[in-house]
Amino acid sequence: MPAERLQKVLASAGVASRRASEALIAEGRVTVDGKVAKVGDQVDPERSIITVDGRVIGGAGVLAYLLLHKPMGVASTVRDAHVRDFDVTVLTDGCAAFSPPVHDTAIAALRPVCRLATVAEAMGEIRQG
C-alpha cells in the first residue's frame, strides 16, 4: 500500500478527526515503529506499527483473523441456551501467525473477556484436576 499522511491514517482508523490527529501528533502522543511522529509524516498503514498513548492503532481496513482448533463435539461458545457457565481460557503462547507486536496486542485485547494462560499453565491445571 502506498504511504499516506499519518493524520489521514489516524482519522480513517477512527482515532480522531484529521485536525485533532494533527494535535495528537504535535503533542508527541503518537509513535510510528517506536519513534515519536511529526506532523506530516508519511506511513504505510499495513506495515507500520502506529500507537497513540501506547495503544496500537490498526490502519483503515486492516483485518485480523484468529484461528481456533475446535475438535468435533467441543463447545465453541460462551453463550448457551441451557445457561451453563463457561470458563474461557486463551492460550497465549505457541502462535506463529502474527508478528510479536500484533500477537501481544491481540492477546491484551482479549484480557477483559477471558482468562489468559500459557500451554504449560493450562496443562498443569488439567493434570491437577
Is residue 9 within 8 Å of residue 43, measured between CB atoms?
A: yes
C-alpha cell read off for 27: 503533542
For the whole prediction, is pTM greater than 0.95? Answer: no
Residue with cell 482468562: 115
Q: Domains of the chain, with CATH numbers?
A: 4-57 (3.10.290.10), 64-129 (no CATH)
Is residue 97 within 8 Å of residue 70, measured between CB atoms?
A: no
How far apart CA 24 and CA 22 sit, in angstroms, is: 5
Average pLDDT over every residue of 15-35? 93
The predicted structure's pLDDT at residue 72: 67
Give per-residue pLDDT as tens, 87-112.
Answer: 777 888 766 556 777 777 777 777 77
Residue 33 amino acid letter:
D
How deeply is 29 buried, as exposed, middle or buried, from its count of CB atoms within 10 A (0-12, 13-18, 19+)?
middle
